[in-house]
């Protein structure tokens, strides 16, 4: 009898020792009717980015362009030094973070012998590096093409200012996408200050458009719509506000998606170059029309770039000037048939899908052609290395480039004086 009285007490003590998170009635076959609620998975920009359909051609291109960007960064740092036509690998190892490399600088330059030339200094006996002649000539060619396209650059800047809310854009965002727009490095002096009839600098960091040019107020998407209307005999109702849609291979179309896309294509919006009052978000259909206007602005901005691509982080600097108070990355992921975000490299890059086919630009331009040559030279790696010229070590010591005195010039008279005494150099 006493044992029977102790059993409930022991059971209560064992039950008290259980953690508080353990349910009093665990799920089992005798209480299977107990309802258990599951949380609905959240759909955010990050989950959409992870679940998106990949475009392997554009991903591969983004990887190559990231490599080219690092090589050009090293080229710019090496060209900025005035001590000599070469730089020691010990010094270049400090530039790894500046150019965004995830490998050692020495391994990177040895991997691309058609771009970089690694040699041992004849006097100091340490490893040095310089840029190959082919890459230097391509860099000068790109600079010359950019200078010749000055009037086209002027029009691109004017079109960007016309898309802004009040005709003003900060200089810093323009500086961030300077290379994408094909602008020279000193565009502030060579374009903004030179054409004072078109631009006005406000507070030195804001450029303002003096007078609008309505002839430039035609977007690339409107040219495409006119072509579709004439060649395919589509109705104006179908093409008036439509965008070209090109889904990646393997994209799954769910039920009701086609009808939603059809309704979105017919949805009216304020065009990028129109000066009408922006639709309020709280009005009927205001959110969709506001987002569609943002899509049109991003589409036009990407169309103005040389390679129809730009980093998402740099694109976000135009949100305030263009009145796009939306989450840009989430907006881009909502329209996989128009834009594609690649996560290859150190940053996220958005591509204009209609401008590319099999990883190549459909309508190349002179600047894109030169950069494509740079990329092909970089991708050669260790192939065809027999055509590379042999280093002339004597010229490396006393070479003077463009009249600048370089380190090692004092060695030349000493070596010349030793020649008369029968001493070999």
- In this structure, what token pair is assigned to residue 325? 């108070």
- In this structure, what token pair is assigned to residue 11? 């059971």
**Pairwise CA distance, residues 156 & 174, whole Å:** 11
Closest by CA position to 361, among listed 370, 348, 352: 352
**pLDDT tens track of the chain, all 425 residues?**
444 454 554 445 445 554 555 555 555 555 556 555 667 677 777 888 888 899 999 999 999 999 999 999 999 999 988 777 889 999 999 999 999 899 999 999 999 999 999 999 888 889 999 999 999 999 999 999 999 999 999 999 999 999 999 999 999 999 999 999 999 999 999 999 999 999 999 988 999 999 999 999 999 999 999 888 888 777 777 788 999 999 998 898 888 889 999 999 999 999 999 876 555 555 556 788 999 999 999 999 999 999 999 999 999 999 999 999 889 999 999 999 999 999 998 889 999 999 999 889 999 999 999 999 999 999 998 888 877 754 444 444 444 344 444 444 444 444 444 444 444 43
- In this structure, what token pair is assigned to residue 42? 């959240």
**Pairwise CA distance, residues 170 & 181, whole Å:** 15
Angle at 101 between CA 97 and CA 106, to 5 degrees: 100
Closest by CA position to 179, among listed 378, 346, 367: 367
What DSSP string runs through 247-277?
PPTT----TTHHHHHHHHHH-----TT--SP
- φ/ψ of residue 341, rounded to 5: -100, 125
E-assigned strand segments in 251-372:
309-311, 339-342, 349-352, 356-357, 360-361
Identify the three-state secondary structure at position 425: coil
Closest by CA position to 316, among listed 170, 184, 158: 170
Q: How many CB atoms lie within 10 A of CB 215?
A: 7
- In this structure, what token pair is assigned to residue 145? 């093409």
Cβ(296)–Cβ(219) under 8 Å?
Answer: yes
DSSP character for 387? G
**Pairwise CA distance, residues 196 & 218, whole Å:** 24
C-alpha dihedral sign at 4, 9, 13, 18: positive
**Pairwise CA distance, residues 247 & 113, whole Å:** 38
Predicted TM-score (pTM) above 0.75:
yes
Identify the three-state secondary structure at position 178: helix
């Amino acid at each position: 009898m006493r044992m029977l009285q102790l059993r409930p007490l022991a059971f209560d003590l064992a039950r008290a020792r259980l953690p508080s998170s353990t349910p009093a009635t665990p799920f089992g076959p005798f209480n299977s009717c107990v309802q258990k609620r599951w949380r609905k998975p959240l759909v955010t920009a990050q989950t959409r980015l992870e679940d998106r359909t990949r475009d392997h051609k554009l991903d591969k291109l983004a990887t190559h362009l990231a490599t080219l960007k690092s090589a050009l960064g090293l080229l710019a740092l090496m060209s900025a030094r005035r001590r000599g036509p070469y730089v020691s690998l010990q010094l270049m190892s400090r530039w790894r973070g500046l150019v965004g490399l995830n490998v050692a600088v020495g391994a990177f330059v040895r991997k691309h012998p058609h771009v970089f030339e690694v040699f041992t200094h004849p006097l100091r006996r340490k490893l040095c590096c310089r840029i190959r002649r082919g890459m230097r000539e391509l860099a000068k060619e790109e600079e010359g093409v950019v200078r010749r396209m000055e009037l086209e650059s002027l029009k691109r800047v004017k079109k960007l200012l016309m898309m802004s809310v009040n005709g003003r854009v900060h200089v810093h965002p323009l500086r961030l996408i300077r290379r994408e727009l094909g602008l020279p490095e000193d565009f502030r002096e060579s374009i903004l200050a030179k054409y004072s009839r078109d631009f006005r600098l406000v507070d030195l960091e804001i450029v303002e458009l003096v007078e609008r040019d309505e002839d430039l107020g035609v977007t690339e998407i409107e040219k495409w719509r006119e072509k579709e209307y004439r060649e395919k005999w589509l109705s104006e109702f179908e093409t008036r506000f439509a965008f070209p849609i090109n889904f990646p291979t393997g994209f799954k179309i769910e039920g009701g998606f086609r009808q939603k896309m059809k309704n979105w294509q017919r949805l009216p919006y304020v065009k990028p170059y129109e000066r009408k009052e922006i639709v309020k978000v709280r009005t009927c259909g205001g959110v969709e029309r506001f987002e569609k206007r943002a899509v049109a602005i991003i589409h036009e901005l990407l169309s103005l770039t040389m390679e129809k691509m730009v980093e998402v982080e740099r694109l976000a600097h135009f949100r305030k000037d263009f009145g796009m108070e939306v989450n840009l990355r989430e907006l881009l992921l909502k329209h996989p048939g128009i834009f594609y975000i690649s996560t290859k490299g150190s940053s996220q890059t958005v591509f204009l899908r209609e401008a590319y086919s099999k990883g190549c630009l459909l309508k190349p331009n002179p600047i894109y052609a030169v950069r494509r040559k740079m990329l092909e030279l970089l991708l050669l790696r260790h192939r065809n290395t027999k055509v590379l010229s042999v280093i002339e070590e004597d010229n490396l010591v006393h070479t003077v480039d463009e009249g600048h005195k370089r380190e090692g010039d004092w060695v030349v008279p000493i070596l010349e004086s030793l020649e008369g005494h029968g001493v070999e150099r």
